[in-house]
Amino acid sequence: MMLKRLTVWLTVFAFLFTRFPAFGQTAHDQGTAAGTAANTVIRGMVNTPSATSVVPGYTTTPPEAALAGKASLTTDVNAKLAACASTPADLNCQALRNAITSANTPRPAVSPGDPAIVAARNITRNPSTDLGSLAAYYSGCATSEVTTAAHNETRTCARYVGVGSYSCSNALTVSVSRSNNCTPGDWFAHAGSGSTGVDVQCLPDRPVNQQHFRVTDSGNPLAFFDVDMSGPLLFPQIVAVLGTSYSYFDGSEIQSGVWVADKSCSGSTCSLTAMLAESQRDICTGSGESGMSCTTEKPFLEVLSACPAGTISGENLVTNPCWSGGESGCPAPVTLDKKTCYQPGTPSDIFAQDISGSFGDSFWRANSSRSVIGWAMNPAYGYIPQMTLSYTRPATNATGTDTWNSQCPTLSGPGRCGPASPAQCVDGPSTKIIDGVAITRACWEYRTTMSCTDTVTSDQCAPLVATGCTPLSSTCAQTNPATGACEIYQDQYSCPMPAETVTTATSCPTNVFCLSGNCFNIGYTNDPDFAKSMSMLEAARESGIYLDTDRMQVFKGEDNRCRDRLLKNCCYSDGAGAGMTNQSVFGSGTRLVYDVLMNSENREFVMAGMSALLTGAGFSGSFTTYGITIAVNGTALPAGSTVLYSSSSVAGEGMVIAFDPWTLVIAIIIYVIMSMMSCNETEGRLALQEGARLCHSVGTYCSSCIRILGHCVSCIEHTTSKCCFNSMLARIVNEQGRAQIGKGWGGSQNPDCSGFTISQLQALNFAAMDFTEFYASLVPKTLDLTAVQGNNAGRVNNCYFGQGRCN
């Protein structure tokens, strides 16, 4: 109401303070001038920072906001009517009561054959019939009149068997509300051992076989990993590798990692044991070459099942070749396989001594195998951090709230309609899936038959029959839910139509509207806020898609570096990177992000696709670099090559790695000469990222220099550190957002390319950021042919004299 008053006063203001000649202007010209004047005033108010200053009574929290999104307002309306009983003078209450009274007041039926209805239908079908030629109404357009010959048209009408019989429903709507037993994204459960800890992340409704954990040291994450908690684990299993080393004695690989054991979930309660250990450890005792004794110990020992009666485990049986007639200098006695149970045998079997004293036999044969039933710490290995974590599995609790939406009026007295039959359930009992939750109810909808008087004409088809229409078909449009009898029929008739003249308008001006000779300009200026709104929407989209759920960060970048050496500067920009968006590379997706230019996890899918191409049965070829040749699926090897590895024993299949020493010697000589004049693959990708304007330079430091007496006297290589992002918008948000919250970029040797935490993101003022650079990427530019021709002319010389590099 207040907004309507404001509009009226603005219009009056425009008329009062806009000068019009007393004569010489038509009503159309005066109206156009008044509208233009009012538009200027209103536009200034639209651009006002706050609507509170220009709209009387404006509030951002109106009471009606609580009604938005509700499936049914019946309960709210009834509550409002009940409250209105004590406030009869309230304008809103008067409007509600007047609407109900009007709906229940009997009114005479309006027949489809009423002259006003017939005239309106004729004008709708062909305005020229009553209004004559419409050519004068399309000033500024090319008009033509087409005469249509007499023809037949299909008309539809309703025929009521039970006059005034209607049905209304009372339908049930169930709204589902969800609550979590933990805050999504939080590491909500913790177990520790010294400075080492294990946490589980709150990811509600995640499958039990994909529970997400992390291991920390003094609060700093060491590894993130998923664990299948659906079944038991009899022996510790490594789930994350923290590092790799090699044994000093035999050169075998040693993995340092996170091990889990004793994992289980019973209902909603889960537990597991996490440990940090190496896959093996070399334990030495004594000193000196002759006095030192070393053994390789595993961190965990297997607990085996007991042997059946009448048998003995191999660890209790000791054998020595000297016992069976061997010569002097025999090795020390050894035990038999502890995973095997042995029974007494004959002299043709294994000769061994029972050190447990349970049996007096000397010959043994294998009886059965012992299964692993558990595990134990190996005391000889040393200390192992052990953390037992118990937690309630993250879940979402769903609660259904019933709301009945009755379309049947509450009648306090005689009126237009009244119930003709009791309400009947027409939907239920049944179970329905609502917002992913199964909800069961005895009845979802009741239907009541209402009898209404003076509302319709029993036969609306009579006027069509009177004008000479012939029937075509008849279908039942509504049945009585109690008796099944048809109450409303829908009939179709073929009706003769006289010849008609239709006016068509073409070639109308796009920025001018004319009506009956009066024209005015309808052109408008583009909304300056559109680009800013697009930037906000894209920022919200990217922050949701590229959220790092492990560290709960958005707009995260990557540390990239390039070198500037004596003979070659690898810190350059390659404009080709601007064309390597997701949309152009993969044929789909958005052109605003550049995932293919990123490192690590963001490129896993590209590498996997290339790997499938090279090793698939449909590919045959070879790659040679520095004398090493990889041949796939039977491709011939270079002459003089020595095969180092073959993945298949069948000729012509698998992969073969070969070595040519002479090629390697030549390649080394060339590499020494060219190494100071070349850039590596990482620097090439960084150049593409710079070309797409994805990087922020952090700083430059001397990475290689000539030293005299330990002091750097001349720097021969500078390295520049840059934080690169997968979109220009992410870079802009980082550059301007970090300044707002006081977050720096780190040093040149240790740049900080981390993203924003959720709390930091909420603290950013996006309205204060300048997205002008991003706006330009949204608006296509017209091709400058002169600039293109000049650029191509320059590229000819660059390609020829630039050693094959076309800049």
Q: If pLDDT is split at 50, 70 and 90, which confidence band does 20 have?
A: very low
Q: Is the pLDDT of residue 623 over 50?
A: no
What is the C-alpha separation between 544 and 552, in angstroms, rounded?
A: 11
Q: What is the pLDDT of residues 690-718, one digit of tens each?
A: 888 889 999 999 988 888 777 888 898 89
Which of 116 and 206 is assigned the larger pLDDT?
A: 206
Q: If pLDDT is split at 50, 70 and 90, which confidence band does 409 have?
A: low
Dihedral sign for Cα 17, 23, 28, 32, please: negative
Q: Which range is least confidently modeled, 147-161, 211-225, 520-534?
A: 520-534
The winner for highest mean pLDDT among 107-121, 263-277, 560-574 is 263-277
- Give 777's contacts (C-beta < 8 A, 6+ positions apart): 592, 728
Q: Is the pLDDT of residue 677 over 80?
A: no
What is the C-alpha separation between 668 and 660, in angstroms, rounded?
A: 13
Q: For the chain, first and last CA: distance in Å?
A: 65
Mean pLDDT of 429-450: 90
Q: If pLDDT is split at 50, 70 and 90, which confidence band does 71 have?
A: low
Q: What is the pLDDT of residues 321-376, one digit of tens each?
A: 565 544 556 667 889 999 999 999 999 999 998 988 888 888 999 999 999 999 99
Q: What is the pLDDT of residues 39-52, one digit of tens each?
A: 777 766 666 566 67
DSSP assignment string, 462-522: HHHHHTT-EEEEEEEEEE-TTT--EEEEEEEEEEEE--EEEEEEES--SSEEEETTEEEE-
Residue 91, number of CB atoms within 10 A of its CB: 9
Residue 357, number of CB atoms within 10 A of its CB: 7
Which of 586 and 193 is assigned the larger pLDDT?
A: 193
**Can you state the percent helix, strand and coil of the chain, rounding each to 5?**
30, 35, 35
Q: Which range is least confidently modeled, 226-240, 246-260, 599-613, 625-639?
A: 599-613
Q: What is the pLDDT of residues 740-783, one digit of tens each?
A: 999 999 999 999 999 888 888 888 888 888 888 877 666 555 54
Q: What is the pLDDT of residues 129-140, one digit of tens each?
A: 666 666 666 666
Q: Is the pLDDT of residue 31 over 50?
A: yes
Q: If pLDDT is split at 50, 70 and 90, which confidence band does 473 have?
A: very high
Q: Is the pLDDT of residue 397 over 80?
A: yes
Q: What is the pLDDT of residues 283-308, one digit of tens each?
A: 877 766 666 777 888 999 999 999 99
Q: If pLDDT is split at 50, 70 and 90, which confidence band does 188 have?
A: very high
* SS3 (DSSP) at 612: helix
pLDDT at 587: 45
Q: Which range is least confidently modeled, 190-199, 555-564, 594-603, 704-713?
A: 594-603
Q: If pLDDT is split at 50, 70 and 90, which confidence band does 649 have?
A: very low
pLDDT at 484: 79
pLDDT at 608: 38
Which of 573 and 534 is assigned the larger pLDDT?
A: 573
- The secondary structure of 660-710, three-state, reads CHHHHHHHHHHHHHHHHHCCCHHHHHHHHHHHCCCEEEEEEEEEEEEEECC
What is the C-alpha separation between 776 and 553, in angstroms, rounded?
A: 27
Taking alpha carbons only, the member of 566, 768, 555, 581 closest to residue 691 is 581
CA 182 to chain centre: 22
What is the side-by-side order of every strand in the sheet holding 312-313? 312-313, 340-344, 363-369, 350-351
The full set of domain ranges for the chain reads: 1-58, 71-105, 108-140+423-519, 179-284+380-392, 532-793
Q: Is the pLDDT of residue 500 over 80?
A: no
Assigned token pair, 365: 């044969």
What is the C-alpha separation between 351 and 365, in angstroms, rounded?
A: 9
Q: If pLDDT is split at 50, 70 and 90, which confidence band does 462 have?
A: confident
Mean pLDDT of 389-410: 86
pLDDT above 70 as % of the chain: 67
Q: Which range is least confidently modeled, 121-135, 194-208, 231-245, 565-579?
A: 121-135
Q: Which range is least confidently modeled, 95-104, 256-265, 724-733?
A: 95-104
Mean pLDDT of the chain: 76
Assigned token pair, 385: 């951090």
Taking alpha carbons only, the member of 500, 496, 498, 497 closest to residue 469 is 496
What is the C-alpha separation between 232 and 697, in angstroms, rounded?
A: 50
pTM of the model as a whole: 0.52
Q: If pLDDT is split at 50, 70 and 90, which confidence band does 113 have?
A: low
AA letter at 652: G
